[in-house]
């Protein structure tokens, strides 16, 4: 004998109720399609963040228009990628050394204006890459240490000589582990010896919002009446979503979907 449905519920004998072993109701197919399309939509939004950033696009166009053979720029799903590369005439570093040459300082200085524009809303990671020729000297045991030291020296140069905000910069070394091309010829090894500036989408959660000043302790009494503030309220355009907010929202949704 079928159970009696509680008040307000559909009886289990109703044809709209899916019985065990019976096909799913027709509406479930459309619902599943809709959920799949929504996931795809947000994944595409996440991948297209950098491409939709007008400042990154303008910087990439400006750098490539300079026709500097040692510098190239491209937009990737991770952000704006600026590559400093060697040529047959100009090397970035002396062999086995992480010290910046005068040529390298000039190459870096040529892209600093575009880096400064993008650091208003983004973080910068400096990547060091080498070829696969083994190295071992008094300073570096392997290419990994060498590439890390080179990236660190570039960051130090950007902070000290060009006053870029240190809180938004980071250095990392990949050694020979991420070659652009196989290390099968001198030309290919030269292409793999490079420094990459990656202007990432969004900002680190640990950073204050762009344009805000760090809080400092103060013992001076306030000259304003209680309940009033001397700071103007920040005005935000209705419907505006920054790149960090979109990526955070998408990451949260994807993590929830994977957890189910």
- Residue 123: the pLDDT is 93
Residue 150 has pLDDT above 80, yes or no: yes
Domains and CATH numbers, the chain: 53-200 (3.30.1330.60)
- Which pLDDT band holds residue 2 (cuts at 50, 70, 90)? low
pLDDT of residue 222: 42
Location of structure tokens 């960051």: 155
Q: Quick check: 41 and 34 in contact, CB under 8 A? A: no
What's the pLDDT score for residue 113?
Answer: 95
Residue 35: pLDDT over 90:
yes
Distance of CA 257 to the CA centre of its chain: 23
The DSSP secondary-structure symbol of 113 reads H
- In tens, the pLDDT along 151-185 reads 999 999 999 999 999 999 999 999 999 999 999 99
Give percent of the chain with pLDDT exceeding 90. Answer: 50
Question: d(Cα 152, Cα 101) in Å, to the nearest integer?
Answer: 14
Contact 98, 146 (CB under 8 A): yes
128 exposed, middle or buried (CB, 10 Å; 0-12, 13-18, 19+)?
Answer: buried
What is the sign, positive or negative, of the torsion defined by CA atoms of 139, 142, 147, 148? negative
Q: Beta strands 124-129 and 71-76: pairing type?
A: unpaired
Nearest to 162, CA basis, from 91, 103, 82, 106 = 106
Rank 145-154, 202-211, 225-234 by mean pLDDT and report only the highest.
145-154
The residues, ordered by sequence, that sit 6+ positions from 29 with a Cβ below 8 Å of its Cβ are none
Per-position DSSP letters for 191-216, written without gaps between them: HHSEEEEEEESS--TTSPPTTPPPP-
Give the 3-state secondary structure of residue 174: strand
What is the Cα–Cα distance from 215 to 217, expressed in whole angstroms?
Answer: 7
pLDDT digits (tens, 9 = 90+) for 37-88: 999 988 887 766 656 678 888 999 999 999 999 999 999 888 899 999 999 8
Confidence of residue 28 (pLDDT cuts 50, 70, 90): confident
């Amino acid at each position: 004998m079928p159970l009696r449905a509680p008040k307000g519920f559909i009886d289990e004998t109703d044809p709209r109720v899916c019985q065990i072993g019976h096909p799913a109701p027709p509406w479930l197919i459309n619902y599943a399609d809709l959920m799949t399309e929504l996931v795809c939509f947000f994944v595409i939004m996440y991948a297209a963040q950098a491409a939709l950033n007008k400042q990154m696009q303008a910087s990439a166009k400006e750098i490539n228009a300079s026709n500097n053979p040692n510098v190239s720029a491209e937009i990737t799903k991770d952000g704006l990628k600026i590559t400093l590369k060697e040529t047959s005439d100009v090397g970035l570093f002396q062999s086995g050394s992480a010290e910046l040459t005068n040529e390298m300082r000039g190459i870096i200085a040529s892209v600093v204006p575009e880096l400064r524009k993008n650091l208003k809303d983004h973080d910068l990671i400096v990547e060091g890459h080498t070829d696969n020729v083994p190295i071992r000297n008094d300073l570096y045991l392997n290419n990994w240490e060498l590439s890390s030291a080179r990236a660190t020296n570039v960051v130090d140069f950007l902070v000290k000589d060009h006053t870029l905000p240190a809180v938004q910069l980071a250095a990392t070394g990949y050694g020979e582990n991420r070659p652009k091309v196989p290390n099968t010829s001198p030309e290919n090894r030269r292409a793999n010896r490079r420094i990459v500036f990656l202007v990432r989408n969004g900002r680190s959660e640990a950073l204050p919002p762009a344009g805000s000043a760090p809080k400092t302790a103060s013992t001076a009494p306030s000259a304003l009446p209680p309940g009033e503030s001397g700071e103007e309220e920040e005005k935000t355009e209705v419907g505006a979503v920054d790149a960090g907010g979109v990526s955070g929202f998408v990451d949260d949704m994807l993590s929830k979907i994977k957890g189910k």
